[in-house]
Structures are given as structure tokens and as C-alpha cells.
Amino acid sequence: MASYATAPELGRYAIRSVDRAEVLRYLGYLGHEVAPGFDEELDARIDRVIARCVDVSQPAGMVRVFDIAAAGTADEPPVLAGTTLRLSGHDISAHLRGARAVALMSVTLGLANERELLRLSLTSPLDQAIFDAAGSALVERAADAAEARIIALAAERGLYANDRYAPGYGDLGLEVQPALLESLNAPKLLGVSLTPSNMLVPTKSETAILGLFDELQEHREDRLCNVCACREFCTIRTQGRTCRG
Amino acid sequence: MDKTNVSAAAPAVALPTTTPAGHRWQRELRFADEHLAAAFRGEEPLLLDGGMGTQLQARGLAAGETPELLCLSNPAEITEIHAAYVAAGSEAVTTNTFGANRIKLAAAPVTAKLPGSEARFEAAAPSVDQIFAAAIACARAAGPRYVAADIGPTGALLKPLGTMGFDEAYDLFAEQALAAERHGADLVIIETMADLAEMKAALLAVRENTSLPVICTMTFGEDGRTFLGTTPEVAATALSALGANAVGINCSLGPADIAPLVQRMIAWSRVPVVAQANAGLPQLHDGVTSYSIGPEEYVAALEGMVAGGVSIIGGCCGTTPGHIAEERGLIARVGSAMKAQLPGELPFTVASAQRLMSLPMGHVGVIGERINPTGKKRLKEALRSGNLDYVLREAISQDEAGAQILDINAGLPEIDERVMLGRLVNEVSGVTTLPLQVDSADADAVEAVVRPYAGKPMINSVNGKRESLEAIVPIAKHYGCALVGLCIDEGGIPETAEGRLAVARRIVATTDAAGIPREDVAIDCLTMAVSTNQLAGRAILDAIRLVKAELPGVRTVLGVSNISFGLPYRPLLNATFLTAAFSVGLDLAIINPLDERLADAVAAWRVFNGEDDHENSYVQVYAERAAREKEAAKAAAAPAVPDGVWLHFSDDSWRQFGQAAGTTAPPEAGAAPFAAEAGAAAPAASAADALSGAEPAVRELHDLVLAGRSGPVPEVVRTLLATHDAMFVIDEVLIPALDEVGGKFEAGTFFLPQLMASAEAAKAGFEEIRASSDNADVASKGKIALATVKGDIHDIGKNIVRMLLENYGYEVVDLGRDVDPQAFVDTVVEQNIRLAGLSALMTTTVPAMGETIKLLREQAPWCKVIVGGAVLNPEYAEMVGADFYAKDANESARIAGEVLG
């Protein structure tokens, strides 16, 4: 059987902007037309803090594809080869049902971002709140970039990725985080660590699990490139193809 | 220099062998043989080994496995790996103990074995001691000349960004260090560190508990910094001062990438420099991992480093016995020795974790003096109340004004100096990367602060008294600090220059004997007021000149402002005296960098002293200033704005008015320009009704709070305080404005940033009131304890709540994040606090909230509890036993009003 597995791969993502509307949503602009314009000074300040966040952050990620040692069932997720990571739960079983291989990823904005959050907590709670929201939007972009890399690795292997599934959602607990991070060599190469309660530090970090399949996955079938979150980071389109085949 | 003569003239004070806190500071190192000793003197090369983890992976070790357990389950295979390195030429092999600390071993699955091996290993989690015993035995069995015990990071991030304490990390490392020595290791390698504080904990743990020499290597990214922002210069400076026997770089990058970083280290290290790069990047083909850089390419990149002065080499991830064999050849071919220390005098250095401050002999530096409560009412008040906002602003403004080191002094009789000094150092380090000078005469307080400090701090100060020398010099030596020595002893401050030199000699004789390099010692000749003795100025200048001439290598430092005490127009005297002091050899000036006249004197002196960088320093700053002053003079010539009128304009109209000064008539006083500017929310409309008939400044302040504009607030508050008391401004203007903002937030017309901007504006008002009135006028409405619960590190929500509550006049005791339940309850009990707020962002930490509340009920039944946070809802709040659930910060303020009034 051919191996789909890859070595842990570090990526640094040059992300120069974030969606302002997304930042405002994180700040609690719920359901309103996003055109605050309530105050020029405050608007300018929001823009300044967002720019600062983009500036000090060092978005980076690790991705790695694992072969499957034992196929999963409806209740049991597959066993990954070459790692001590053991997944459990219905939700992740469903997410990986029928997968040929499994990709893990971890992204972070780095400790420089965390240090700036700490600095702002001491100097300006408002700036800290804006910076935090901007970081939330930015780390999602970093996750999009890592996902784009996984989609490309899948495409090289004739496979199709499904969505990102993060520990802490559904019935997949945070206790998988230590083995997940170690499997990516993320503590050493990304500087991501865990608190005793398995929270990621830097706080603007994410981990996710994607299944790689023989068949095009449903969400990609109906997702056009121009609405795809990974579009900016896509390397498949540059080859004149798309991840949909 | 002739140290013998100096010592003869002024015998050194004999020092005790422990620091005040009982940490042993002098320990004879034990070298396995003369070659190892010579290697650590930088006279002979030392060849280490290559990667262990990658060798194990090649044998089938799974990712996420705990490889250290293999020392017990598969000792033969571990010895085989070591033996291959010994055969390739490694003099020292590194034990398989990288992650063998108590925490990691306890969390590890205890089933490790290599695939296909017979060995079975199923037991309770093995102890650190067991692993080190087995690992050192495995290494020794391979027959190497030396066994190096490996110590890697704890795996947890230290405070303040993480949750692990310095002492906790130290304990983990000490356990490893003791085991390493007990089982016969010849040296220790502490490696792959990204956090200078964690490295320091590990180095001290080895130093204080063993006699083993230590190699310290940190890991850097392509940007030339560790994950925590430490540069090679800072690492080399701080670690060689702290007593590392070799410093260097390992992991992360390939040899060509680390070469420039290693060169930067060599320039600042006082000990041999180590290079252990990765063999490039891993690639996986059909399940087989290979690294991109082979032995020949690896060694080609290493050759330049060795020629540049790297004398200890080996390899990290992906390197193999093949790489080591090539390195053996390299050493045989070109030899290798530590680069001789640069000729001439070494620079004075101090460093924070992120910033190195170095001063070549002859250059002048500025130490910011503002964080010192002596004679400063607002700072005293800040330290007493524990609200450090003002202190942090002082730190930031001194940084911006060009300070290169910040003096930190918490000496107030009514506060616990040890606790406050530590807090000040932590919080100031959070807002500036400037290195700090710990200013205290209390040896225990000094040690408590410099021990965990991430960097090389400066201690202010020791003096010529025996008691002081005995207490402070060991601390400076043990923790590798720069040290200020005051020219005062049992006889007081000598009046003459010669008298001061005599004290300086005694101090330097003692620091020499302790092994503190002279460039780390700065003598303070002590400024006396010329108003009491006109010859005092001359004596100080002569003393500086004498100290520099008679004690070569030593630096001088001086706080200048005392010189003008009791005289009019002090800045003139201070600046002139400062220039005079520079001209006789003063190195470091302790001044207020925001004092323009003093800052000018420094900038001007640097030009004459030949240390001004013409590209961007004097010319840039002063050409701009000349232009600005010209501009201002022109504006002053225009008709003046009628007094009192401009206050009633919005910021923008004020700016417009400024631009067109003298040409546009100001709008009529009393117009409400904010109504239009506040946009969709139109905050001022109703206010205008409620305040109709109010005096203009009242409406102005109200409108500023509604619009969230802090800038003009202090000025308006001052205007109001001229005719009203503080309580009027608070109760009749600020609080109603905040209530109005809260109402709009509630109604959904204001959003969080607006709420917070308003809170900021109100805060500026409260601060102005506090600054200009006696404390008695502004009574606290009661204390509220706040915390993010144990296990949770998200504090945004809590910080927003704090800001709002403070504005409503409550005294907030903020315990921070990841707060232990009992520690929280202890504070509530000690301070008899009636209301507590707990925040949690993650479902996993809600139980910790429940536990905190349970303890509160048992030990502080009088205390009501508000809970909030992203995952909470009224049901959860009830489940954990809270009294109130607050869906947002605004509601917290409302509840506080209900409970505390």
C-alpha cells in the first residue's frame, strides 16, 4: 500500500490584512450593517490597532499527513500510523469516516502577538479588546493558509480534504492536544505549548484535524473558488486546476 | 591593570558562600579531565554528538512517544546509537533525557518500546532518577570519553505569558540536575530553550545543586530571535554572566542559517560558543524520513563558524554519525579554539529578555529615575493603592524619551517593598523592553527580584560598608548582574575626592575578589548639594576622574539632580553639571529623561563625544525641533484665542480652528458639536435636553464621555474643579454620563468599543480629579475582587469589567488570570471583600469556577459572587452557585451598584 504520509512541515504565512468586518463582528457588532462610522476617532483607532496586530503577529503553521493504521467505524475513529495520538468520539468518527489519510495542523500568531496582548492589558483595555478581535480574525486566516497547504498535499496524492475539525468541539476533548502538538513537532518548531488545562499558548493558536478522501467532499463541490477562504493561499489554481478536480 | 596593587591597598571584604536566600553561590567546578577543563577555557575544541530523536524515529519510534522511556525498555538500542557516535568521533555523547522531567514523565503513556523489539516495559510512571540512571548507564556503556546529561525545556510556558512559575520550573530542573550528578554525568547540556527565564531557572538549578560544567544552547528562528524575542547577543551576554560554561545555538535551523547568529553570539560571549544545527528539513518518502543536508554540505557550512571562533560543535535534529565523522575531520584539519577576547576594554552591558543595552568605554548612557517614590506624591499614591497605571505610563514615557535603563524603586515605609518591587519589575517589563535597575538596599528584596529576572539586570546598590558588601556582592556575582557601588561607608560620604576613591577601591577589591568583571561595576561618587557647600561639585568631578584613572575598567554612574537642591532654576545647574561630569568620565547618568534640558545636554554631549550617529540622531531630532519652534513662534504672533472659548469645541473643530487660527471666527460657545459626530448612535441628543441650562463645561465633559474622547477631558475637569468640588464632577457629570452610555449599550445603539472608549474618557476624568484633590475627597465605594479562574488564561472580558467598575468608583483587586481558588478566597478574606467577580471563557474551566465559589461559601460567606464569560449563561451561573450572572461588563457595574451601593 502506498504511503500518503508526510514529514511535519513548517509554513510561514505572509498575511498582510484581515477582514475589518470580521474583526467588528468579534467585537460584538451583531447583526448590524457593518458600517459603523460612529466616530472617526474610534474608527481610526480600530484601524490602527488592527494594523498593529497584523504587524506584530508572525503567522505560521505546521501540517502533516498521517496514514491510517486501522480503519474507523461509525463509532470508532481511524487509528493513525506513526503517532501516539488516539482520537475518540462519535463526532470525529463521523468526520473521518471513509478517509484514506488524516491531516493534522496547528497554526499560531506567535508569542510576539501574545506579548503585545499582555502589554495592552496593562496599558489599554480597549486596545486589548480590539487587538484580541483582530488576532482572532488573523489566526483564522492562518488556519485557512494551513488548510490550503493540506488541500494541496491532498491533491498531490489524488485525495480531497474535508473541513477543519478542532479539538474541543463536539465530543472530541482537549486531552488530545498534547499528542496532536507533539505529532506535528509544534512545541519545538512553532513555539506552541499547553497550559495544564490543555489550553494553547499563544492564545491565538489553533489545531485541527482533516480527513483526506478518494472522493470530492460535499462542501468543496458547491464551493466556488471566489468564495473559498483558502483562495489567497491556494497553490493549486496556479497550476491551472482546482481542488475540486 | 594591576589588580594585586588595588587589593593590597584596599583589602576585599571576605564574602559568605551563600546568598541571603540561602542559594549557594560559589561551587568549585569538577572537570572529568584536563581536556574538558581546557575545552571550557576555550583552549581546545570539543566534539559532541548528533541527533538522538531522529535516530530513534528511524528505528520506528512513533510521534508523540516519550523517547526517554526507551532507556528502560530498550537500553541496548540506545547504547547502540551512542556507540555509533563514539565510533564516529564524538568525545561527549548526550543522554536520552531531553524531556525527562517530572511533569512530562507523569503524563507519558508507559508502554514505550520500539517496534519488533522483545523488550517489554509496562510499569508505573518511572521517576526522573530512574530515567537518568538508565540513560547515563546506556551512554556510559557506549564507551565515550564524557557523558553529557541532556536537559530540555519543561514543555510549559513560564509566566507571565504562560502559567508555570519560575520556582516550579527550577524545582523540575533541580531534580534532573541532582540525578545527573548522582549517576555520574560529566557535564550537563541545557538545550533547545526559547525562554531566557526558563534557561536561567535550569542553569541556576545545575549551578546550585551540582559541580558539573554546563553548556547552554537556545534555539532561534529565521528572524534571529527565539520565540520569546531573545536575540543571540542577549543570550550570550546574560548566560555567560550567569555562569554558563559555554553558550550557543541548537535546533530549528540548518548550519548556514545559524552561522550569522552564532557570529553575533561570539562577539558577546565570555565563554566558548557552541553550534549544533539541524541537518536542514525532514522529508518523508514512503515512510522513510531523510534530512535535506548531508554530512559534507553540513560541515562546509560549519567550517566558517569554526574559523570564526566556535570551539564546541556537534549536531541536532537529522544529524547522524556520518555528520559527526565529517566534523571530526574538520577539527583535525583546521583545529578549533575559542576566539580570543576582543582586545581593549569590554563594553558595559545589561539586558532584558528582548533588548541589549551596551555601552562601549567612553560612551554615555541614560538611566531613567522616575520610578522612585521619594518626593513624588502621585507615585506614592500609586504604590499605596496598588493601581500601577501611573507607574506604567512613567515607564513608557521614559522609554520614549530615550532612557536606556529604568531604575525601579519601591521604597516606601508603609508598603511591603519585597512584594511591590517584584510586581513593579514584572509589570514594567510587560510594557517596555528596557533593561531594569533594581533599586533597593534590602538584600532579600534585591535577590527575590533579580533571581527570576529574564535578562541581566543592574543592582542599585552596594556601598562600602562591610554589611552591604557581604550581602549584595554575592547576589550580583551569583546572578550575573551589573552593580552600582556607592561611595559611602561606615564613616558616611567622604567629603574629598580621595576619600571617595578609597571607598571605591574597597568596593572594587571586593567585586574583583568575587570574580565580577570590572565592566559590570559602576561607581557612584554621590552628588551633594552645592547650596550647602560650593566645593561639593568640584569634589564629585574630581572623584569621577580619579575612579576612572585609578580603577581601570570600572564605570561610573551618578544621579545629578541633587546638585541643585535648594537653588532656583535647577534645570540649568543640573544640565551644566551633567555635561561637566561627562567630560571627566561619567558613563551613566541617572536622570529624568523627560527633562528637556537634561536630554539636550546628553544629546549635545554625544555629538562632542564622537558617539552621535549623524544619520538619525542629533541632526534629525534637532532639525525637526528647530522647524517646530519656528512654526510655533509664527503661530504665537497670530491673534490669541479668546480665553476659555476653545474648550467648548469638539476635538475636530479645535483642530480646524488651530489650522486657521486667526482667520475663522470660533463657533458660538455652547453649541453641541458632538451630536453630529457621534454618528448613528447620536448620543448627545438626549443629553442636550437633560443638561439644558447646565453650564458649558458640564455639558462639555458629558459630551466628551459620550463621544469617548479622552484627550480634552483633564482640561475640562480642571475647569470644573475651579468652581465645584470633586463629588459634583463625579456624581453629577461623570457617573450620569457613564449611565447614559450604559443605557445605549444595553439598547444596542452603542457597541463594545464605544462603551470602552467612554470608559477611558471617564477614567481620564477620574485620574485628573485624583491628581488635583486630596484622597479624602474621593472615597472608594467598596472593594471588588476579580479573577479569571484557574486553568483559564483569557482575560479580555475581566479587564473590560475591571475598567468599568473602577470608573464607577469601586476599588478593584484584580488577581489576574489562572487564579488558584484558595488564593482568591484568601484575598477576599484578608481584605474583607464583599463582592467577587469570576470569569471563565472555556467550558473546561467552569468547574474551577464552581470550586472557587464553593470555597468562598465556606470561608467567606459574606461575599456575593458575579460570574460571567463567553460560555456562561444564567443556568450555568446557577449551577456553579453564583449569586449573579452578568451577560456583559455593563451589567457587572449595575450589579455592583445593587450590592455595594
Q: Where are the domains of chain A?
A: 9-17+58-110+139-239
Mean pLDDT of chain B: 88
Instruction: Check whether residue B789 and residue B760 sit in a common domain.
Output: no
pLDDT on residue A105: 98
For residue A84, give the amino acid letter. T
C-alpha–C-alpha distance, residues B410 and B53, integer Å: 48
Burial class (CB in 10 A: 0-12, 13-18, 19+), B606: middle
User: Is B867's pLDDT higher than 70?
Assistant: yes
Question: Which residue, B527, B542, B531, is CA-closest to B583?
Answer: B542
User: Could you tell me the sign of the dihedral formed by the alpha carbons of A16, A12, A201, A76, in that order?
Assistant: positive
The interface residues of chain A toward chain B in range 225-244, judged by CB-CB distance below 8 A, are none
**DSSP letter for each residue of B392-449:** HHHHHHHHHTT-SEEEEE---TTS-HHHHHHHHHHHHHHH----EEEE-S-HHHHHHH
- Domain containing B244 equals 45-334
Q: In sequence order, which residues have a C-beta less than 8 Å from that of residue B322 and are 6 or more positions away?
A: B88, B294, B295
For residue A238, give the amino acid letter. T
Query: Strands B246-250, B273-276: parallel, antiparallel or unpaired by DSSP?
Result: parallel
Inform me whether the C-beta atom of residue A111 falls under 8 Å from chain B C-beta atoms. Answer: yes
Q: In whole angstroms, how far apart are CA B824 and each of A215, B416, B504? A: 54, 20, 48
> How many angstroms away from the CA of B227 is the closest CA of chain A?
6
pLDDT on residue B656: 34
pLDDT on residue B13: 83
pLDDT on residue B678: 35
pLDDT digits (tens, 9 = 90+) for B88-126: 999 999 999 999 999 999 887 655 566 666 554 555 679
Instruction: Check whether residue B217 and residue B201 sit in a common domain.
Output: yes
User: Is B675's pLDDT higher than 90?
Assistant: no
Q: Which residues of A touch B430 (CB under 8 A)?
A: 118-119, 121-122
The interface residues of chain A toward chain B in range 62-81, judged by CB-CB distance below 8 A, are 67
Q: CB under 8 Å, gap of 24 or more: what pairs does A224-229 form? A: A229/A140, A229/A144, A229/A147
Mutate which of B706, B799, B817 to disrupt the A interface (most A C-beta within 10 Å)? Answer: B799
Query: Strands B288-291, A205-213: parallel, antiparallel or unpaired by DSSP?
Result: unpaired
DSSP annotation of B812 reads: E
Instruction: Check whether residue B590 and residue B712 sit in a common domain.
Output: no
Backbone angles phi, psi at B93, to 5 degrees: -105, 150
Mean pLDDT of chain A: 91
Q: In sequence order, which residues have a C-beta less than 8 Å from that of residue B343 and are 6 or more positions away?
A: none
C-alpha–C-alpha distance, residues B232 and B262, integer Å: 7
- State the Cα angle at B837 between B832 and B839, rounded to 5°: 145
Contact yes or no for B527/B562 (Cβ under 8 A): yes
C-alpha–C-alpha distance, residues B212 and B166, integer Å: 22
User: Is B844's pLDDT higher than 90?
Assistant: no
Contact yes or no for B864/B879 (Cβ under 8 A): no
For residue B790, give the amino acid letter. K
Q: Is residue B677 part of a domain?
A: yes
User: Is B880's pLDDT higher than 80?
Assistant: yes
Q: Which residues of A touch B251 (CB under 8 A)?
A: 188
Alpha carbon of residue A20 to chain centroid: 19
Assigned C-alpha cell, B602: 546628553
Which residues in B203-242 are b (16+ Cβ under 10 Å) and which e? bbbbbbbbebbbbbbbbbbeeebbbbbbbbbbbbbbbbbb
> How many angstroms away from the CA of A133 is the closest CA of chain B?
10
User: Is B645's pLDDT higher than 80?
Assistant: no
Instruction: Check whether residue B413 and residue B528 sit in a common domain.
Output: yes
Backbone region of residue B64 per phi and psi (left: phi > 0; alpha: psi in -120 to 50; beta: other values): left
C-alpha–C-alpha distance, residues A129 and A114, integer Å: 13
Contact yes or no for B105/B148 (Cβ under 8 A): no
Instruction: Check whether residue B220 and residue B293 sit in a common domain.
Output: yes
> How many angstroms away from the CA of B221 is the closest CA of chain A?
9
Inform me whether the C-beta atom of residue A126 falls under 8 Å from chain B C-beta atoms. Answer: yes
List the alpha helices (DSSP H) in B588-695: 596-608, 618-637, 651-659, 674-677, 684-690
Map grid coordinates 459626530 to a residue.
B677
How many residues are recorded in chain B? Answer: 901
User: Is B617's pLDDT higher than 60?
Assistant: yes
Instruction: Check whether residue B790 and residue B771 sit in a common domain.
Output: no
Q: Which residues of A touch B157 (CB under 8 A)?
A: 193, 195, 201
User: Is B688's pLDDT higher than 70?
Assistant: no
Which residue would you say has higher pLDDT here, B691 or B873? B873
CATH number of the domain bearing residue B723? 1.10.1240.10
Assigned C-alpha cell, B194: 526559547
Query: B75 preceded by cis ω (within 30°)?
Result: no
Q: Report ipTM for this prediction.
A: 0.92
pLDDT on residue B118: 53
DSSP annotation of B734 reads: I
Biggest distance spanned by C-alpha atoms of chain A = 62
Do B707 and A125 count as a contact with CB atoms less than 8 A apart?
no
Inform me whether the C-beta atom of residue A21 falls under 8 Å from chain B C-beta atoms. Answer: no
Query: Strands B288-291, B282-285: parallel, antiparallel or unpaired by DSSP?
Result: antiparallel
pLDDT on residue B172: 98
pLDDT digits (tens, 9 = 90+) for B752-768: 888 999 999 999 999 88
Burial class (CB in 10 A: 0-12, 13-18, 19+), B295: buried
Contact yes or no for A134/A45 (Cβ under 8 A): no
User: Is B367's pLDDT higher than 80?
Assistant: yes
Instruction: Check whether residue B91 and residue B185 sit in a common domain.
Output: yes
User: Is B653's pLDDT higher than 80?
Assistant: no
Contact yes or no for B754/B708 (Cβ under 8 A): yes
Domain count, chain B: 4
The interface residues of chain A toward chain B in range 148-177, judged by CB-CB distance below 8 A, are 168, 174
Contact yes or no for A153/A65 (Cβ under 8 A): yes
Instruction: Check whether residue B717 and residue B842 sit in a common domain.
Output: no
Instruction: Please tell me whether residue B789 adopts helix, strand or coil conformation.
Output: strand
C-alpha–C-alpha distance, residues A160 and B850, integer Å: 44
Which residue would you say has higher pLDDT here, B774 or B665? B774
Q: Which residues of B touch A24 (CB under 8 A)?
A: 751
C-alpha–C-alpha distance, residues A46 and B754, integer Å: 11
pLDDT on residue B650: 35
Backbone angles phi, psi at B491, to 5 degrees: -90, 10
User: Is B322's pLDDT higher than 70?
Assistant: yes
DSSP annotation of A68 reads: E
Do B156 and A119 count as a contact with CB atoms less than 8 A apart?
no
Do A84 and B63 count as a contact with CB atoms less than 8 A apart?
yes
What is the average per-residue pLDDT within B513-521? 95
Map grid coordinates 469570576 to a residue.
B838
Which residue would you say has higher pLDDT here, A126 or B686? A126
Which residues in B523-557 are b (16+ Cβ under 10 Å) and which e? bbbbbbbbeeeeebbebbbbbbbbbbebbebbbbb
**Across-strand partners of B149?**
B188
pLDDT on residue B610: 87
Instruction: Check whether residue B800 and residue B764 sit in a common domain.
Output: no
Contact yes or no for B409/B428 (Cβ under 8 A): no
Percentage of chain B surpassing pLDDT 90? 69
Contact yes or no for B291/B279 (Cβ under 8 A): yes
Do B431 and A115 count as a contact with CB atoms less than 8 A apart?
no
DSSP annotation of B833 reads: -
- The dotted CATH code for A9-17+58-110+139-239 is 3.40.109
Question: Which residue, B198, B162, B610, is CA-closest to B364?
Answer: B610
Which of B595, B611, B636 delimits the end of a domain?
A: B595
How many residues are recorded in chain A? Answer: 245
Q: In sequence order, which residues have a C-beta less than 8 Å from that of residue B613 and are 6 or more positions away?
A: none
pLDDT digits (tens, 9 = 90+) for B216-244: 999 999 999 999 999 999 999 999 999 99
Q: Which residues of B touch A122 (CB under 8 A)?
A: 388, 392, 427, 430-431
Of the listed ranges B283-297, B520-534, B653-667, the one predicted with least confidence: B653-667
Burial class (CB in 10 A: 0-12, 13-18, 19+), A240: exposed
> How many angstroms away from the CA of A95 is the closest CA of chain B?
22
Instruction: Check whether residue B50 and residue B122 sit in a common domain.
Output: yes
pLDDT on residue B614: 63
For residue B229, give the amino acid letter. G
Do A187 and B155 count as a contact with CB atoms less than 8 A apart?
yes
Q: In sequence order, which residues have a C-beta less than 8 Å from that of residue B483 and are 6 or more positions away?
A: B458, B459, B461, B462, B472, B473, B476, B511, B516, B520, B521, B522
What is the average per-residue pLDDT within B332-347? 68
